[in-house]
A and B are shown apart, each in its own frame.
Chain A
Amino acid sequence: MAEALDRTIEAEEAVATSGAETVAEAPEESSAISVSPWVANSLVPATVDLARRVREDCLAMTSRSGAGHIASALSVVDILAVLYGSIMAVDPTNPDDPTRDRFILSKGHGGSAVYATLAELGFFDKNDLLKNYYANGSSFSGHVSHDVPGVELTTGSLGQGLGVACGIALAARLRAATWRVFCVMGDGECDEGSVWESALMASTQCLDRLTVIVDRNGMQSFGPTDDTALVLGDIAEKFRAFGWKAVDCDGHDHRALATALATPHGGQPLCVVAHTVKGKGVSFMEGDIRWHYDSASPQELGQAFSEFAGQGDGFPAGTAILRSGGVA
């Protein structure tokens, strides 16, 4: 296991020399997307490899500590990998850089994935995270915490993040700043009325520096969103009705995600409904609500890791390998 966790340089180099594709057809107005010089310098491994390592970290962290929500984390990993690995301008050596792009995980229970992504990018020591996630006396609470470098806002009460993201986007406009705000929500989270209050605010104020990504895995706490709780239906259509530019995409296909996130949306906030699988990447976790709650036993962890080993760089199957800065 330690071997798998510590797989670093070699794997990164392998990807870097594998003739990885870049996203070719970046839309015309894609100049809206800023790519961090840090990213452009290619210190970030290809996003697919980043995603695989983040998955391994999340599984290890939650298994070791007995924390829940592993399926919610696995669901959002590719979204985070594409955002942090190829779109957002962030600097791990200067997490509070005023010009950084801001990110808010509104589905705070997916926090292990954000911590792992930040650790993989070098915001803090990964071993510290693997050892101290969910541990007494640490900063790594189960829901994402702004006591951790690189995290903007502690969340965990669903429906909290989008409104704050609106405020940040408004501040960006007031200051004529160029940075952007990204907010990731769960689909079940869209049950909350506050989401739709914020959605109206964003379109009324034409907050075009704001992008929300809905992790549309079709599940929430008891099972399928539409069968067990409220009928959410076509979320993109709802955002459009609320005055947003909204697109759907495959939330595990990095090329599709990057393209969707590059959708021109001048004058409007952008909503990307990323269609995902809860528990993505671990066959026995995919779509099984049990993994909203349970954590992998050492044996299950081994099984999950062996699945990653079998997948090589091709994970997830059919996904284009995206190089850092590929969408610029």
Chain B
Amino acid sequence: MRNTFIAALTERAATDERIMLLTGDLGFRVVERFQERFPGRYLNGGIAEQDLIEVAAGLALEGYKPFVYSIASFPTLRCLEQIRNSVCNPELDVTVICIGGGFAYGQLGMTHHATEDMAAMRSMPCMEVLSPADPAEARAVAAYCFESTSPKYVRINRGGEPELEGAERVEGLPVQGLRGLVERARRAPAGVEGAAGAADVAIVATGAIAKEALEAADLLAQAGISCEVFTAPLVKPLDAEGIRAVAARTKLVATLEEHTVIGGLGSAVAEAIEDARVDGAHGLAPVLRIGIPDRFPDVVGDQRYLRQRFSMDAEGVTRRIREALGRA
């Protein structure tokens, strides 16, 4: 996805001369094409993320459209107050790009896990939070960033992710269409032609881990449980209407994110449903938040291994949903 996003950015920079790419000494074998084509609009600001954000803010104040590239927690948590005060408060058109969302850099260790980033970014006024699930969404997210003038945070897994089921629906979306949940799949147990809109569970996932949700849908169907799967490329603003509609027609809404269960997609979905209840809505499904529990991994592991360890892989998701539905 990172190459997809940077390729889109490079192409766009040919026609949008405001676009700049700032890197915090990262992106070897990724950013070079941009650098070659637009050397004057490429800047390696060194291993100095706080400064990089401030510089991006200054450029944006003067009408440039900077994209700041780094990995893990470095472009968010490392420079959180700079983002808050210098980017969000003045509502500047700065896009922060994180490669390595979740456990993408698993074995490198906890300093290289981006697992609280969405919570921190979501909590910033004006900040939009985008988290593509596959290359199709990465292209759509890039197109969205080219139009939006808000502060933006883009969380990308890494490289080499496959297109997921339903990718063609993303390709056809108008830019603002990305604000809605993306319907990915619907599974019913063999022989049961589930009435449209009456699935037992709806899984809402964000980021590359959506792949596990799609596999879980198959496993659930085998266990006699019907399932819908959506992706949320925008975690903020979240499609609250869409969430509410889904919650009204299912028994359980399960969220899946490679991120702490505190403050990310699961929290956003639960908040949207609770807000709907306050507005008087009835019969909305409860929310099962699947994500990283409130602790750091106790062992080393690659992305797959850590997903499994925290019951966030297809089997774990299936198990958690079956337990929640009382059909374990």
Q: Which residues of A contact B (CB under 8 A)?
A: 65, 67, 108-109, 111, 134-143, 145, 154-160, 188-189, 191-193, 220-222, 228-230, 289, 292-293
Interface centre among A109, A191, A220 (most CB of B within 10 A): A191
A residues near B74, Cβ cutoff 8 Å: 157
- If A156-B108, A157-B74, A193-B51 touch, whether A140 touches B44 (CB-CB below 8 Å) is no
- Whether A157 lies near B45 (C-beta < 8 A) is no
Q: Which residues of B contact A (CB under 8 A)?
A: 25-26, 28-29, 44-48, 50-51, 72-74, 78, 107-112, 299-302, 305
Name the CB-closest residue of A to B297. Answer: A141
Tell me the interface secondary structure of chain B in the complex.
loop
- 21 sample A-B contacts, Cβ–Cβ < 8 Å, listed by A number: A67-B107, A108-B109, A108-B111, A136-B299, A136-B300, A139-B299, A141-B108, A142-B107, A154-B109, A154-B111, A156-B109, A156-B111, A157-B74, A188-B46, A191-B46, A221-B47, A228-B25, A229-B44, A229-B45, A229-B46, A293-B28
- If A134-B300, A138-B299, A157-B78 touch, whether A222 touches B48 (CB-CB below 8 Å) is no
| Cβ 8 A contact of B300, one of A108, A137, A155, A191 | A137
- The complex places the Cα of A154 from the Cα of B50 at a distance, in Å, of 21
- The complex places the Cα of A221 from the Cα of B47 at a distance, in Å, of 9
- If A141-B107, A154-B109, A156-B108 touch, whether A222 touches B44 (CB-CB below 8 Å) is yes
- The complex places the Cα of A92 from the Cα of B17 at a distance, in Å, of 59
B residues near A138, Cβ cutoff 8 Å: 299-300
- Whether B48 lies near A230 (C-beta < 8 A) is yes
B residues near A221, Cβ cutoff 8 Å: 25-26, 28, 47
- Whether A188 lies near B25 (C-beta < 8 A) is yes
- Whether A156 lies near B28 (C-beta < 8 A) is no
| Cβ 8 A contact of A137, one of B44, B50, B110, B299 | B299
Give, as a whole number of angstroms, the nearest-CB distance from A37 to chain B. 33
* Seed contacts A193-B48, A289-B28; 14 additional CB < 8 Å A-B pairs: A67-B107, A111-B109, A138-B299, A140-B300, A154-B110, A156-B108, A157-B72, A157-B73, A158-B47, A191-B48, A192-B47, A193-B51, A220-B46, A221-B28
Give, as a whole number of angstroms, the nearest-CB distance from B328 to chain A. 26
A residues near B78, Cβ cutoff 8 Å: 157
- The complex places the Cα of A160 from the Cα of B109 at a distance, in Å, of 15
B residues near A158, Cβ cutoff 8 Å: 47
Give, as a whole number of angstroms, the nearest-CB distance from B75 to chain A. 12
- If A137-B301, A188-B25 touch, whether A155 touches B111 (CB-CB below 8 Å) is yes
- Whether A193 lies near B50 (C-beta < 8 A) is yes
- Whether A139 lies near B46 (C-beta < 8 A) is no
7 smallest A-B Cβ distances: which pairs? A156-B111, A141-B109, A191-B46, A230-B46, A229-B46, A191-B47, A142-B108
- Whether A142 lies near B109 (C-beta < 8 A) is yes
